[in-house]
Amino acid sequence: MSLLVEQSVLSNYIGGREVASSSSRLLPLTAPNTGELITDVPMSRVSDLDAAVQAAAVAQKAWAEVPMKDRVQVLYRFKTLIERDEDRLCEVVTLENGKTMGESRGSVLRGVECVEFATSLPQIAPGAVMEVSPGVQCRTQRVPMGVVAGITPFNFPFMVPLWMVPMALGLWNAFVLKPSEET
């Protein structure tokens, strides 16, 4: 498998764009199967995290105003992109994690299932009104949490984030992901 990383040093992705880390400390990311250097990963600082959370908070306010049907369409488009690029995503998981292509494909397909489920969240998680006694109602209303964060382990670098990201987005939240430094 020859999969080249276009950048010698990865960037953070903050506010919809690539942003260089404020840290000059780098961690080499190597392919476990070959020991070859894939790329270097910046050891980001708290200031980088703060910037990501601030950008996510701004984005979440706008995202919360997006109508449900449009939010669901974004998730459907995301699912379509994963399916379109399934082979390449499997190669990346295999390269970074040392999994077989079959194991990688299983984790990518499970990720697709999670995105599919998330497309239903806006419909299955609305609020409710119950009449608990004559003239007395209890009302539940779902509200976004705001910025949601996830820290993922090394062993499922594609699937585990998809347990979290689509669910958060489907329910009006923004998401900040801190992947394992090992993948």
CATH of the domain at 17: 3.40.605.10
Report yes or no on 132 lying in a domain. Answer: yes
Q: What is the pLDDT of residue 87?
A: 97
Report yes or no on 5 lying in a domain. Answer: no
Task: Give the mean pLDDT of the chain.
Answer: 91
Instruction: Please write down the long-range contacts of 32-39, taking CB distance under 8 Å and 24 or more positions apart.
Output: 32/97, 32/98, 33/94, 33/95, 33/98, 38/5, 38/95, 38/96, 39/5, 39/7, 39/8, 39/9, 39/10
**Tell me: the pLDDT tens digits for 26-75?**
999 899 989 999 889 999 999 999 999 999 999 999 999 999 899 999 99
Mean pLDDT of 132-151: 91
160: three-class secondary structure by DSSP: helix
Report yes or no on 96 lying in a domain. Answer: yes
Q: Answer whether residue 4 shows pLDDT above 60.
A: no
Q: What is the pLDDT of residue 6?
A: 66
Report yes or no on 118 lying in a domain. Answer: yes
Report yes or no on 29 lying in a domain. Answer: yes
Q: What is the pLDDT of residue 122?
A: 76
Can you give the pTM of this predicted structure? 0.85
- pLDDT band with cut points at 50, 70 and 90 for residue 102: very high
Q: For residue 101, what are the domain limits? A: 12-178
Residue 180 and residue 123: Cα distance in Å, rounded?
32
Domain count across the chain = 1
Q: Answer whether residue 144 shows pLDDT above 60.
A: yes
